[in-house]
């Protein structure tokens, strides 16, 4: 995270993105986002709008999308707020990409629960496919980032790729997911453990067993 920095402000960047405006569809969405906040508080829509802009850039570049400085300025102007305030938001949240990314942004969780469940092997599997942390592969397909807890610890280890989470991974399962994505297919999201639906305890419940079928009052047993 320390090496996050906005892509440099060059004439080429200005040339490419200086003319950024919402597509008709996104303009409509932007209006909806803004209208969710009371009069005079339009600035509150800055986060959804940054996300929307990132997606629009993504659609234009066939990547996950990112936020070039001119686009950040566009949002500031759209919401009539100082651009430094928008940049503060964009740099605070790691989900906003400040530099170009590839088609798939592979975010491997490396926080303690995932680490204990083998996130090192997951990273290793990524390296093996030629990915390098913090950069985009030559074919423009993969960008690899190590991130902190994504809130899926119960199904650790996990990676987030663009809008999907892939959990209960092993190097093989990850390879399968990545192969499918590379082939243009949409692999199943969520847990990759056969027989598991979401984050329920694998192998059946171990606690609160009486609750499975009907409500049960445990209080008398405390």
Partner 1 sequence: MPNVTVDGTEIEVPEGATVLQACELAGKEIPRFCYHERLSIAGNCRMCLVEVKPGPPKPQASCALPATEGQEIRTDSEMVKKAREGVMEFLLINHPLDCPICDQGGECDLQDQAMAYGRGYTRYDENKRAVTEKYMGPLIKTIMTRCIHCTRCVRFSEEVAGVDEIGALYRGENMQITTYLEQAAEHELSANVIDLCPVGALTSRPYAYEARPWELKKTLSIDVSDAMGSNITLCSRGREVLRVLPRINDEVNEEWITDKARYQVDGLQRRRLDKVFLRKRGKLVEGSWDEAFKAIAKAKPGKSIAAIAGDMVDCETMFAAKALVKASGSDLVESRQTGMDYPTGNLAAVNFNTSFAEIENADAVLIVGSNLRTEAALLNVRIRKAVKRGAKVFVVGPEWETTYPAEFLGDDVSVLGKLPKAVTDAFKDAERPALILGAGGLAAGAYDSALGLVETLGLVKDGWNGFNVVHTAAARMGALMLGFAQDGGIADIAKAKPKLVLALGADEVDWEPFADSLKVYIGHHGDKGAHAADIILPAASYAEKPGSYVNTEGRVQFADKAVFAPGDAREDWTILRALADALKVKVGFDNFAQLRAAMTEEVPALAVEGLADYGSLPKTGKAAKAEGKIAYPIADFYLTNPIARASTTMQRCSAELIHGEDVREAAE
Task: By CB under 8 A, name the binding residues for partner 1.
Answer: 1-2, 4, 9, 69, 82-85, 87-88, 91-92
Residue 152, token pair as written in the block: 């899926």
Does residue 157 have a cis peptide bond before it, meaning omega lies within 30 degrees of 0?
yes
| Shortest reach from residue 83's CB to partner 1, in Å | 5
From 63, 55, 64, 67, select the one nearest 17 (Cα to Cα): 67
Answer with the entry of partner 1, ligand FES, none that 52 interacts with (C-beta below 5 to 8 A by kind): none
Identify the H or E element spanning 26.
Answer: helix 24-35
Binding pattern for the stretch 85-114 against ligand FES, x by CB under 6 A and - elsewhere:
------------------------x-x-xx
Return the residues of window 149-208 that contact ligand FES according to CB under 6 A. 149-153, 156, 158
Q: Please count the other Cβ atoms lying within 10 Å of the Cβ belonging to residue 120.
A: 14
When the beta carbons of 89 and 150 are compared against ligand FES, the nearer one is 150
User: Angle CA(193)–CA(196)–CA(197) in degrees, nearest 5?
Assistant: 125
Answer with the entry of partner 1, ligand FES, none that 111 interacts with (C-beta below 5 to 8 A by kind): ligand FES
Answer with the entry of partner 1, ligand FES, none that 91 interacts with (C-beta below 5 to 8 A by kind): partner 1
Ranges of beta strands (E only) in the chain are: 104-109, 142-147, 159-161, 164-167, 190-191
| Shortest reach from residue 167's CB to ligand FES, in Å | 8
Question: Strand 159-161 relative to strand 142-147: parallel, antiparallel, unpaired?
Answer: unpaired
Number of residues engaging ligand FES in binding (CB under 6 A): 11
From 132, 170, 168, select the one nearest 152 (Cα to Cα): 168
Using alpha carbons, list the distances in angstroms from residue 194 to 97, 117, 169, 173.
33, 17, 11, 11
Answer with the entry of ligand FES, partner 1, none that 9 interacts with (C-beta below 5 to 8 A by kind): partner 1
When the beta carbons of 73 and 120 are compared against ligand FES, the nearer one is 120
| Shortest reach from residue 169's CB to ligand FES, in Å | 11
Answer with the entry of ligand FES, partner 1, none that 113 interacts with (C-beta below 5 to 8 A by kind): ligand FES
| Shortest reach from residue 190's CB to ligand FES, in Å | 13
Residue 147, token pair as written in the block: 């991130």
| Shortest reach from residue 110's CB to ligand FES, in Å | 7
Q: Which residues contact 146 (CB under 8 A, 6 or more apart)?
A: 107, 108, 109, 110, 123, 133
| Footprint of ligand FES (CB under 6 A) | 109, 111, 113-114, 149-153, 156, 158
């Amino acid at each position: 995270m320390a090496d996050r920095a906005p892509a440099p402000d060059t004439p080429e960047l200005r040339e490419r993105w200086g003319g950024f405006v919402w597509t008709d569809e996104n303009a409509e969405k932007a209006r909806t986002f803004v209208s969710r906040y009371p009069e005079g508080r339009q600035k509150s829509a800055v986060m959804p709008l940054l996300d929307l802009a990132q997606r629009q850039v993504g659609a234009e570049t066939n990547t996950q999308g990112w936020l070039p400085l001119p686009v950040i300025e566009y949002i500031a102007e759209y919401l009539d707020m100082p651009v430094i305030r928008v940049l503060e938001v964009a740099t605070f949240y790691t989900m906003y990409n400040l530099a170009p990314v590839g088609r798939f942004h592979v975010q491997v969780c490396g926080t303690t629960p995932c680490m204990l469940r083998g996130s090192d092997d997951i990273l290793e599997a990524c390296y093996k496919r030629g990915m390098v942390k913090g950069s985009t592969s030559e074919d423009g397909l993969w960008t690899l980032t190590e991130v902190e807890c994504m809130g899926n610890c119960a199904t650790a280890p996990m990676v987030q790729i663009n809008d999907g989470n892939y959990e209960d991974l092993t190097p093989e399962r990850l390879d399968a997911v990545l192969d499918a994505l590379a082939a243009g297919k949409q692999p199943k999201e969520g847990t990759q453990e056969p027989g598991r639906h979401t984050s329920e305890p694998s192998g059946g419940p171990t606690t609160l067993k009486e609750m499975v079928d009907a409500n049960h009052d445990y209080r008398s047993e405390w």
